[in-house]
Amino acid sequence: MFGYALVFLLLSGPLFAADSPPQRFDVRAFGAVGDGVADDQPPLIRTAQAVARNKGGVLYVPFGVYRCSRQAGMQNGIEFAGVSDVTILFDPGAVLMMDNLNPQNGQGDFGHGIVFRGPSRNIAVINASVKWAKKPSGRSMGDAFRFEGFPSDDRCISNIRLIQCSAEFSPQTGAVLMGCSDIYVENFRVTRTHADGLHFNACRRIHVSSVTGIETGDDTLSFVTYQDDSAVNVYSGGPGSYARADFGEWNNNGSTAANIYARGGTANGVRLAGAMNVALSDVIIEGKLRAVIADCGRKEANKHSWSWLASRGITICNVVATGCTTGFYVANFNQPMTADDKWWRFEIQLSNLSARDCKDDSVRIAEAAGVAVRGVKAENRRIRILHCRDCVLDGIELRNGEFIVEGQADASMRDAPDLGLSVLHVNIDKGYLDIHNCRGLTCESVRISHPVGKAVRRSQIHDSRIGRISVQ
């Protein structure tokens, strides 16, 4: 009932401009069987072609399992190119089952699940479940949901609704959206993908409400836009990941994401790379590499395939990280902090982080500037601030771990920059405070209980203000 009520609201609202309800095209009327055995790929193609000829409508998938086998040429399960005013509506429990892996190597190379190519507008996908019949042997081609627009007003895919959808066992991503605008994602679930769960590249005005990622092979949720001074497409010869010369409205600008849960798998819970004006809230990450990461770096042989800038205008609140390698991680991978600051100066505000049982660090900020962290409860792993400038850490509760501030890597302070770094209102229980190689540090209101070894370790501190440190 939820699905029918929702599609009624969508179709009767501003999504479609027509006065009468859009025409509905039932895949069974075009020969689909939905028994999980018959090859329903040709009927699905015929249904999509009928919707395209009609210049829009509802592609309806009744309850059943619709198998798409490996074809003679590459075929996507359901595909639209340049068609607007389209809704794909699955009955609850209906499944698009992709059975198209390469029989020789078990990898994906012959198509995606549901694909939209722009330019187009007014696209809704509701209740759709896309699942590969077998788990691929490795990361390869095949996204469950794929939206290929272009980052410009006249070539993008705009006004997208992805609601109550799920992806499982995809060779690549659960859903990837590139060059898209005005996107709303609600209750998206992704399980055991080989790459990202939900990935946005060079989009704008994204609103995500509730994402669940179980054992994703890469980031569960990522906002990424690559950087290139001349190109707008990282991959030559066709749609793909887009790059921009600098920050702008297509750096996933003006976006929000709330209620994110990720458990297991590899890579990160949430990644921000070259992102602009993104608000992230209510995030729970268990057993990933990093719970939340914001990073930047330049293309480098054998290390980084692309370049991406330090994210700006980022607000993050209410994050719980359990059993991750690092809870909150900000890093400039390879650019000196004497270069253009777009490569290392972030604008990030994080509030209310709980990090427990992390393997490396509860919080790690390295070779970066412009990060403010307020309200942290960390347990059983250290906090490290390495070679940072103009950062604030305020209201930190650290239990069973050390707090390390390293101004620069070596002890030569003759040309050391003023850090502009503030560490305030810190409580450490069963740990210690280690400050070294710093100039221009403010460290005040620190209480250390049950220290491990020497409570406060200081060396090479210049032109700094350190006071109100108590040891109990």
Mean of the per-residue pLDDT values for the chain? Answer: 94
Lookup: tokens for 201: 């590249």
Residue 191: how many other CB atoms lie within 10 Å? 18
Banded model confidence at residue 374, pLDDT cuts 50, 70, 90:
very high
List pLDDT tens digits, range 16-31.
445 678 999 999 999 9
Q: Say whether pLDDT at 335 is over 90.
A: yes
Q: Say whether pLDDT at 238 is over 90.
A: no
CA 41 vs CA 52, 95, 168, 173: distances in Å? 17, 13, 19, 21
Boundaries of every domain in the chain: 1-16+28-139+149-178
- 3 state DSSP class of 388: coil
Range in 9-18, 290-299, 338-347 the model is least confident about: 9-18
Report the predicted TM-score, pTM, of the whole model to 2 decimal places: 0.94
Query: Per DSSP, which regions of 368-452 are E strands?
Result: 369-379, 383-386, 392-399, 403-406, 421-429, 433-439, 441-449
Q: Say whether pLDDT at 327 is over 50.
A: yes
List pLDDT tens digits, range 39-93.
999 999 999 999 999 999 999 999 999 999 998 777 899 999 999 999 999 999 9
Q: Say whether pLDDT at 237 is over 70.
A: no
List pLDDT tens digits, range 377-428.
999 999 999 999 999 999 999 999 999 999 998 888 878 889 999 999 999 9
Banded model confidence at residue 236, pLDDT cuts 50, 70, 90:
low
List pLDDT tens digits, range 220-229.
999 999 999 8
Q: What is the pLDDT of residue 406?
A: 97
Lookup: tokens for 88: 């794909």
Q: Say whether pLDDT at 11 is over 50.
A: no
Q: Are 176 and 146 in contact (CB under 8 A)?
A: yes
What H or E segment, with its residue span, contains residue 330?
strand 326-332
Lookup: tokens for 361: 């660090």
Lookup: tokens for 261: 């849960």
d(CA 165, CA 135): 19
Q: What is the pLDDT of residue 8?
A: 45
Q: What is the length of the chain?
A: 472
AA identity, residue 73? G
List pLDDT tens digits, range 253-262.
999 999 999 9
List pLDDT tens digits, range 201-221.
999 999 999 999 999 999 999
Give the residues across from 470 on adjacent strands: 447
Lookup: tokens for 231: 């190109």
Residue 6, C-beta contacts closer than 8 angstroms, at least 6 positions apart: 126, 163, 164
List pLDDT tens digits, range 431-448.
999 999 999 999 999 999
Number of H helices, E strands in the chain: 2, 37
Q: Encode 39-69: b = buried (16+ Cβ within 10 Å), e = exposed.
A: bbbebbbebbebbbeeebbbbbbeebbbbbb
Q: What is the pLDDT of residue 243?
A: 92
